[in-house]
């Protein structure tokens, strides 16, 4: 996870928590968290980076809409990150 930006990590977490969300659905969730608008020029290149790193799979819902799904490697990377965080932060 160390090779991702914080924004890319947030996108990965949103995708992991949803069932094959569209790019628009991911955008809406991230905008809620950031309390600001995320433009397409920021969102889609970062989603493509996650796809290229094989952390996320991209597929087509219809001719205009793609979906994103976390891969096994993406899920593993989240688990490793959470384990790393737990050594420093306990609740």
Domains of the chain: 6-86 (1.10.10.10)
Please report the pLDDT score of residue 1 as a whole number.
Answer: 86
Please report the pLDDT score of residue 43 as a whole number.
Answer: 98
Average pLDDT over residues 41-54: 98
String of b and e for 48-83 (b: at least 16 CB within 10 Å)?
ebbeebebbbeeeeeeeebbbebbeebeebbeebee
Alpha carbon 12 to chain centroid, angstroms: 2
Whether 82 has a pLDDT exceeding 80, the answer reads: yes
Whether 18 has a pLDDT exceeding 80, the answer reads: yes
Reported as a pLDDT band with limits 50, 70 and 90, residue 79 is very high
Please report the pLDDT score of residue 71 as a whole number.
Answer: 98
Whether 78 has a pLDDT exceeding 80, the answer reads: yes
Q: What is the dihedral of CA 75, 7, 66, 22, to 10 degrees?
A: 90
- Work out the percent of the chain whose per-residue pLDDT is above 90: 92
- Give the pair of three-digit tokens for residue 24: 């628009």
Say which residues have a Cβ less than 8 Å from residue 39's Cβ, sequence separation at least 6: none
More confident position, 90 or 59 = 59
């Amino acid at each position: 996870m160390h090779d991702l930006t914080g924004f890319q990590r947030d996108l990965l977490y949103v995708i992991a928590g949803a069932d094959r969300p569209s790019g628009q659905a991911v955008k809406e969730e991230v905008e809620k968290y950031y309390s600001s608008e995320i433009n397409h020029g920021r969102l889609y290149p970062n989603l493509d980076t996650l796809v290229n790193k094989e952390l996320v799979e991209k597929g087509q819902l219809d001719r205009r809409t793609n979906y994103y799904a976390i891969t096994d490697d993406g899920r593993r990377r989240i688990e490793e990150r959470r384990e790393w965080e737990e050594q420093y932060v306990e609740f």
